[in-house]
Chains A and B, each alone.
Chain A
């Protein structure tokens, strides 16, 4: 009887290593992971319907609005003019989007400032719409920005409505320009 017990114990010990990780039931998980980063893409601008007295030309990722009849030839005052420009944008997450006027109005590049009843700056209103958000500004001679940032992914068009403000003063002769800068960044 004693010998039989010894034999049984040895058998148990010998069997154990073969089932070192043995179990009666087990669940073994396998997890697949991945992180999709926030990506934003802005395509080159394109003219939208509804412009007046302007032409638009695309230049790579940028564009240019030119006035076909900037001022009345007899009065020197601004003609009613406007442009609608669209930027196709897609962002897979939160994004910051700003639209900035660099000069705060179309500024005469040939003269320093207004003189003798003539204006040297043509102001305009700029309305920007993106993802159900609309912001607008009116230029006044200094840099100004519109913030259209969103916390959610978006895909659509940033639409800029540009309208000259017809003032009472005639404009001095010269070239007038401004730059409207659209800046898009991921926010996460």
Chain B
């Protein structure tokens, strides 16, 4: 028994000695660092619904055909979305090029004719289940370009599954001038950190 206690003491002493040697070595301190950049991943445009031919992607084009243009109105609404994945707070904005679905080049419309369709536009971030994150701004175009910007905190941004846009033409009672009509809506997403 006495011999056993002695042996135990020897072992304990070794342990203590080992700890002391480790703590006193300044060159063995290891620090691990990492940096996660503030980034977002925005997918290309996809069409969810509406009567237009569509070429999706990062520079998407939706084209109404002749028959649809002949009766363009609320029934011709187009819905698009682009998947979004952000790890930080963001600002997002949309901008319109003309403020109308308007004739590219042509004469001033004579009496009884028109050269543009106005439209309603809504744009918003959505969760995967389709709920709006933050709020959903909307505008009715008036023929002048528009740019509007909005912010979301990090927690809100992390819940965004996609950005959605609904483009709803307003029926034009006048006859439309012949020619090429266009409008471009640009969505911008910017991480804020």
Contacts and interface: CB of A to CB of B under 8 A. Distances in A.
The finding on whether chains A and B are genuine partners in a shared complex, rather than unrelated, reads yes
B177 A29 contact: no
Contacts of A39: 178
A32 B190 CA distance: 24
Contacts of A24: 38-39, 190-191
B182 interface: yes
A142 interface: no
A36 interface: yes
A154 B111 CA distance: 9
Interface in A11-39: 11, 15, 18-39
Contacts of B184: 29-32
B30 A1 contact: yes
Interface stretch (B11-19, B59-67, B128-136): B59-67
Is the contact region of chain A dominated by helix, strand, or loop, or is it mixed?
mixed
Contacts, number: 148
A25 B42 CA distance: 10
Given A4-B31, A32-B78, A153-B109, A22 B64 contact: no
What is the size category of the interface that chain A forms with chain B?
A: 35 or more
What is the size category of the interface that chain B forms with chain A?
A: 35 or more
Interface in B90-127: 95, 101, 103, 107, 109-113
B39 A22 contact: yes
Contact of A155 (B58, B110, B183): B110
B110 A37 contact: no
B144 to A, nearest CB: 17
B183 A32 contact: yes
A15 B63 contact: no
Given A19-B39, A36-B178, A155-B113, A28 B61 contact: no
B52 to A, nearest CB: 7
A33 B113 contact: no
B34 interface: yes
B188 A32 contact: no
B20 interface: no
B36 A15 contact: yes
A33 B109 contact: no
B167 to A, nearest CB: 6
Contact of A27 (B69, B176, B187): B187
Given A30-B184, A30-B185, A21 B43 contact: yes
Contacts of B177: 36, 92-93, 153
Interface of B: 30-34, 36-45, 52, 58-66, 68-69, 72, 78, 80, 82, 85, 95, 101, 103, 107, 109-113, 165, 167, 175-191
14 contacts: A18-B85, A23-B40, A28-B59, A29-B184, A30-B61, A30-B80, A32-B78, A34-B101, A36-B181, A38-B178, A92-B113, A92-B178, A153-B175, A188-B178
What 4 A-B pairs come out closest when comparing CB atoms? A93-B178, A34-B64, A22-B39, A25-B190
Interface of A: 1, 3-4, 7-8, 11, 15, 18-39, 90, 92-93, 152-155, 188
